Amino acid sequence: MWGYYVGLALRSSARSKALTALVIALLAFGVSACMVSYAVFRATTSDPIPSKSSRLYMPQIDNFGPSSSGGEPPNNLAYTDANALWQAGKANRQALVFPTTWELTPGDRTASSVSLGGDAVTADFFAMFDVPFRFGDGWTSTDDAQHGSVAVISHRLNDRLFGGGNSVGREIQLDGKIFRVSGVLEPWSPKPRFFDVATLGPLSAFDDVGDVYVPFTRAIDLKKATPYDYCPSYATDLGVTDWDKYLHSECVWINAWVELGTSADVQTYRDFLRNYADEQKRAGRFTWAPNGRLRNLTEAMTVLHVTPKASSLSMLVSASFLLIVLVNVVGLMLARFMRRAPEIGIRRALGASRGAIYRQFLIEGATMGCVGGIFGVALTLLGLWGANGLFEPKIARLVHVDASLVASTVLLAIAATVVSALYPTWRAAQTQPAWQIKVNG
């Protein structure tokens, strides 16, 4: 029976070539525009670490006060708070992170120094974020405690300095200080770059990660102030001019992450944050009620505005365009179906039920939707190829075509056509057979 209805749809399309082609073209353009935007939106909102995201949380403490923060605590922590949370050790794993820049002195003294980006992190960073290693491993908590001069380097830097070989135990010179290589990373660049975006800002979320990681405590010893701090209006950004005062100021510049295994652990850590802020109030540092947050990775990415506004806006515009397309498709299909009133009248007079008419025209709409979806896939591929012209290259390169995108494009086209055909099909099914036979007799 389904094959019979599909045959009817093909014969009807052959008799109304112009209307059929117009419906298919409109669907293809509308669906492809929507799916190109969806592909970009999907890439920019994807889970950067799906195996762990449900267990990763970003603690926040309001050290600015309600007059400065508007009730929302800063995304980063001041050194006083970050160090206190880390030393308390209330989570399964915990990482402190802040971005750094280093001057690498090559072994060849004739070569000029090179500026490298990276992060100062605590030892749990690597296990916590499932960072893959090609050689060696990260450092230990002992290295953190002893302010060890160790470093983990990227595969890019390893290829550049050591020809891609096992460089564990070799030395590199950063800012004139010797660091021993403890590990070399496999290619690793989570997108979005979530772990230090609170400091670097949302524009950095799709940049590649840095080339060198050093112990947080060692970076503090070397006064590696980040240029991306944020200080309350009543504080002075002292930077390295008075390092001790800077560390004890209210300037925020450190990302903190904790790994918590169960909901009970989450509640316990929330209680700990509240109690800590209450202690700071009793000590006279805060004059406001405890105000902290413990957001999971997904919530943190929302608060940090990781998804580019252009991506969200294009998704909204494309969805609106698709809606306009569907309104036009409804009109075209209504005209197409009502032209066949005599055919419907005769079928009804010969005993066809309204249900049979519904099935015939809905299957006909689905058939056109399937063809429109196939053309939509081709236009989607073309649109993704030209995504560099619409989005920043670092975002456009994340967009990829996979089986789910192709299937979603075809299914969206079919669903959109069937929905558009509901009203025209209902109108067609109301055709009175006796009246049609009399008029055309």
**What is the per-residue DSSP string for 17-80?**
HHHHHHHHHHHHHHHHHHHHHHHHHHHHTS-S-TTTGGGEEEEEE--S-HHHHTT---SSEEHH
pLDDT over threshold 90, residue 332? no
- The mean pLDDT of the chain is 82
Q: What is the CA radius of gyration of the chain?
A: 31
Residue 87: domain span: 53-303
What's the pLDDT at 439?
47
Are residue 120 and residue 172 in the same domain, yes or no? yes
Does 99 have pLDDT greater than 60?
yes
**How confident is the model at residue 414, as a pLDDT?**
82
pLDDT digits (tens, 9 = 90+) for 143-200: 999 999 999 999 999 999 999 999 999 999 999 999 999 999 999 989 888 999 888 8
The reply to whether 273 and 370 lie within a common domain is no
Which residues pair with residue 182 across a beta bridge?
A: none
Helices (H), 45-123: 66-69, 79-88
Same domain for 73 and 197, yes or no, is yes
Please check whether residue 428 is in contact with residue 340, taking contact to mean a CB–CB distance below 8 angstroms: yes
Q: Are residues 313 and 261 part of one domain?
A: no
94 shares a domain with 59: yes
Q: Which of 303, 327, 346 is the last residue of a domain?
A: 303
Predicted local distance difference test score (pLDDT) of residue 135 = 96
Q: Based on the domain organization, do 173 and 228 belong to the same domain? A: yes
User: Residue with structure tokens 């500026």?
Assistant: 115
The number of CA neighbours under 13 Å toward the Cβ of 153 is 27
Per-residue pLDDT tens over the stretch 273-307: 999 999 999 999 998 899 999 999 989 988 888 87
**Cβ burial 392-420 (10 Å sphere, 16+ → b, else e):** eeebbebbeeeeebbebbbebbbebbbeb
Pull the structure tokens for residue 225: 């102030």
Cβ–Cβ under 8 Å, residues 412 and 373: yes
| Residue 295 phi, psi dihedral angles, 5° rounding | -105, 140
Residues 141 and 283 in one domain: yes
* Same domain? 111 vs 180: yes
Amino acid at the residue 68: S
**pLDDT category, 253, cuts 50, 70, 90?**
very high
Could you tell me the pTM of the whole model? 0.76
**Helix or strand holding residue 330 (H, E):** helix 309-338
Supply the DSSP symbol for 230: B
* Percent residues over pLDDT 70 in the chain: 80
Span 365-390, mean pLDDT? 77
pLDDT band at 436 (very low <50, low <70, confident <90, very high): very low
Give the whole-angstrom CA distance, residue 439 versus residue 383.
49
pLDDT bracket for residue 355 (50, 70, 90) = low
Instruction: Tell me how many domains the chain contains.
Output: 2
- The pLDDT of residue 243 is 86
Q: Is the dihedral of CA 400, 406, 408, 413 positive or negative?
A: positive
* Cα distance between the two ends of the chain: 29
SS3 (DSSP) at 93:
strand
Q: Are residues 37 and 79 in the same domain?
A: no
**How far is the C-alpha of 203 from the C-alpha of 8, rounded, in Å?**
54
133 backbone φψ class: left, alpha, beta (φ>0; ψ -120 to 50): beta
Provide the pLDDT confidence category of residue 1 given band limits of 50, 70 and 90: low
Q: Under 8 Å CB-to-CB from 352, ≥6 apart: which residues? A: none
Give the end of a domain, one of 252, 283, 303: 303
Separation CA 391–CA 384 (nearest Å)? 10
Q: Give the pLDDT of residue 58.
A: 96
Residue (of 317, 322, 348, 308) closest to 429 by Cα position: 348
Chain centroid to Cα 153, Å, comes to 26
pLDDT tens digits, one per residue of 195-245 = 998 888 887 888 889 999 999 999 999 998 787 778 876 555 555 567 888
* 436 and 414 within one domain: yes
In whole angstroms, what is the distance from residue 218 CA to residue 224 CA?
Answer: 9
Count CB neighbours of 243 within 10 A.
15
Tell me how crowded residue 262 is: count the other CB atoms within 10 A of its CB. 10
Each residue's pLDDT tens digit, 16-71: 677 778 888 888 888 888 888 888 777 777 788 888 889 999 999 999 888 766 77
Question: With bands split at pLDDT 50, 70 and 90, how would you rate the model's confidence at 2?
Answer: low
